[in-house]
Amino acid sequence: MEWIGDPASERGVREQRFDVLCEGRRVPGILWRPSDATELGPLVLLGHGGSLHKRADYILATARRLARHHGIASIAIDGPGHGDRRADGGLDPERVGAEFESSWQEPEATKKIVADWKAALDAVQSELGSGPVGYFGLSMGTMMGVPVIASETRVQVAVLGLMGVWGPNRTRLADDAARVRCPVRFLAQWDDEVVPRDRALDLFDRLGTQQKSLRAHPGKHVEVPADEMRAVADFLALHLG
């Protein structure tokens, strides 16, 4: 694990870039934690959406809320073909979005991103200490998250949504959903123009856990209400103690 640059602190939250090597790949990530934290404790994995990156506005807001209001650390890594995995830094969402399909159609793309998440989690916990783990990811964050949760027993709670049995890794999502056993809050937008509603409901239905709830709101894919987004951190913190 390599820490990149100097940490930055803002209103009690310390942010630090890092890189982890996994199977020859450089995995770029960020760690957020309370500035006064002496040990890691609970940790949340934050999976960003398609065409975005690890420091997308809602990822940053969730990380800061977890740290400030609940004393919980979090990490985010760039998804396949996103963010600092790209030579251009992935800051142009239109260009990244245009290459979304090709990034996910690379051989074993889902297997690789699961390995990358595990490598990042292992590295952070090895260096800073272990504790209970949660996951938050919408849209492409759920494309990454369902396979991660299905194969990672350390994840004890998750918030997923804006995704269904749909898209480049739909077969893997359908297979892995049944292996998800932790409590899940699932968000859906009733008028989602990207992911068909019936596909999202199908994925929710396939989740193997009996501790799951569906929270649906009118509106398009990116119109999740602000109070619902703020509630993500509170739900995760409730289960992570």
pLDDT tens, position by position, 191-241:
999 999 999 999 999 999 999 999 999 999 999 999 999 999 999 999 998
Q: What are phi and psi of 185, to 5 degrees?
A: -100, 130
pLDDT of residue 135: 98
Helix (H) or strand (E) holding 76: strand 73-77
Residues 35-51: what's their mean pLDDT? 94
Q: What's the pLDDT score for residue 39?
A: 86
- The pLDDT tens digits for 126-176 are 999 999 999 999 999 999 999 999 999 999 999 999 999 999 999 999 999
Strand blocks (E) in 103-180 = 133-137, 155-161
User: Over pLDDT 70: what percentage of the chain?
Assistant: 100
- Checking if the pLDDT of 85 tops 90, the result is yes
Q: For residue 184, give both structure tokens.
A: 């899940």
- Look at residues 182, 83, 181, 103 and name the one whose alpha carbon lies nearest to residue 143: 103
pLDDT for residue 203: 98
The predicted model scores a pTM of: 0.97
Which tokens hold the place of 103?
Answer: 């990034």
Which pLDDT score, from 0 to 100, does residue 181 have?
Answer: 97
Which residue range forms the structural domain that includes residue 27? 2-240
Counting the structural domains of the chain, the total is 1
CA nearest to 105, candidates 169, 154, 160, 151: 169
> Burial level of 48, CB count in 10 A (0-12/13-18/19+)?
buried
Q: CATH number, domain at 171?
A: 3.40.50.1820
pLDDT band at 38 (very low <50, low <70, confident <90, very high): confident
